[in-house]
C-alpha cells in the first residue's frame, strides 16, 4: 500500500465526513473550515484525482440541480482501498502518538 501524504489523508477523511455530499467544492470548503486556511481548487483537485487513479476513491456522476448549477458533478466515495489506507494511518498514528499526552503534561 502506498504511503499517503498528509494532504491525501485529509482529503480522504473529508470524503468520509461529507458522506453522499463529497464533491470538489464541498471537500475544499470542508477542509478550509477545519484547517482555517485558504486552499485553491487545484490544491484539492490534483490529489483528489490522484487518489481516484490509485483506487482509493470511487466516483459517481450527479445530475445538475438548482443549487450546484447546470453541469453534472462528480461525487466521491471511499473505496475499499481508501478505507484500508485510513485504517493503516490510524493504526500508525496510535503507535506514534502513544504517550504524547503524558509528555505534554510533564513539559508544562
CA pair distance 40, 44, nearest whole angstrom: 7
pLDDT band for 104, please (50, 70, 90 cuts): low
Q: Please tell me which residue, 40 or 105, carries the higher pLDDT value.
A: 40
pLDDT at 2: 78
For 44, 59, 61, 91, the CA distances from 88, given in Å and listed in that order, are: 22, 22, 29, 5
The domain that holds 62 is classified in CATH as: 1.10.10.10
Q: Please report whether residue 36 resides in a domain.
A: yes
Tens digit of pLDDT for each residue in 17-55?
A: 999 999 999 999 999 999 999 999 999 999 999 999 999
Q: Please report whether residue 84 resides in a domain.
A: yes
CA pair distance 108, 101, nearest whole angstrom: 11
Q: Please report whether residue 1 resides in a domain.
A: no
pTM for this predicted structure: 0.86
Number of separate domains in the chain: 1
Residues in CB range of 63: below 8 A, 6 or more apart: 72
Instruction: Map grid coordinates 470542508 to a residue.
Output: 30
* Residue-number span of the structural domain to which 98 is assigned: 6-107
pLDDT at 90: 96
Tens digit of pLDDT for each residue in 62-97?
A: 877 766 667 789 999 999 999 999 999 999 999 999
Q: Please report whether residue 56 resides in a domain.
A: yes
Closest CA to 49 of 27, 71, 30, 67: 27
Q: Please report whether residue 86 resides in a domain.
A: yes
CA pair distance 51, 57, nearest whole angstrom: 6
pLDDT at 54: 96
Amino acid at each position: 500500500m502506498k504511503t499517503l501524504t498528509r494532504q491525501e489523508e485529509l482529503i480522504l477523511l473529508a470524503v468520509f465526513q461529507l458522506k453522499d455530499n463529497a464533491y470538489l467544492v464541498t471537500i475544499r470548503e470542508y477542509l478550509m473550515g477545519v484547517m482555517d486556511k485558504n486552499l485553491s481548487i487545484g490544491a484539492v483537485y490534483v490529489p483528489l484525482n490522484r487518489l481516484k487513479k490509485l483506487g482509493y476513491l470511487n466516483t459517481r456522476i450527479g445530475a445538475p440541480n438548482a443549487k450546484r448549477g447546470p453541469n453534472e458533478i462528480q461525487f466521491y466515495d471511499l473505496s475499499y482501498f481508501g478505507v484500508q489506507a485510513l485504517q493503516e494511518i490510524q493504526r500508525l498514528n496510535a503507535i506514534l502518538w502513544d504517550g504524547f499526552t503524558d509528555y505534554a503534561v510533564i513539559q508544562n
